[in-house]
A and B are shown apart, each in its own frame.
Chain A
Amino acid sequence: MAELAAAPTPPAASPVRLGELRRIAIVPALNEEATVGRVIDEIRAFDPGFDIVVVDDGSVDRTAGIAADRGAHVLRLPFNLGIGGAMQTGYRFAFERGYDVAVQVDGDGQHDPAQLPAILAPVLDGQADLCVGSRFAGGAGYRSSFTRRVGIRLFASVVSAVVRQKVTDTTSGFRAVNRKGIALFAADYPHDYPEVEATVMCVKHKLRLREVPVEMRERGGGASSITAVRSVYYMTKVLLAIFVGLFRRYAVPLEEEQHR
Chain B
Amino acid sequence: MTPLPVSIAAAIASFLLLVVVFELIRSRRLRERYALLWLLTGVVLLALSLWRDGLNTIAGWVGVETYPPAILGAVGALFILIVLLHYSTVISRLSDQNTILAQRLALLEQQQREGAKEPSR
Contacts and interface: CB of A to CB of B under 8 A. Distances in A.
Contacts of A146: none
Contacts of A64: 121
Contact of B32 (A65, A79, A244): A244
A241 B25 CA distance: 8
A244 B35 CA distance: 12
Contacts of A259: none
B25 A244 contact: yes
Interface SS majority for chain B = helix
Interface residues of A, number: 15
A246 to B, nearest CB: 9
A248 B26 contact: yes
Contacts of A68: 120-121
Interface in A205-260: 233, 236-237, 240-241, 244, 247-248
A192 B33 contact: yes
Given A64-B121, A68-B120, A248-B26, A79 B36 contact: no
Given A64-B121, A79-B97, A247 B26 contact: yes
Given A65-B121, A191-B33, A237-B32, A244 B22 contact: yes
B26 A79 contact: no
Interface SS majority for chain A = helix
A8 interface: no
Contact of A240 (B39, B96, B104, B121): B39
A79 B100 contact: yes
A15 interface: no
B97 to A, nearest CB: 5
Contacts of A65: 120-121
A240 B32 CA distance: 7
Given A191-B31, A244-B22, A244-B25, A78 B101 contact: yes
Interchain residue pairs A-B with the least CB separation, the first 8: A244-B25, A241-B32, A78-B100, A78-B104, A237-B32, A65-B121, A240-B32, A247-B26
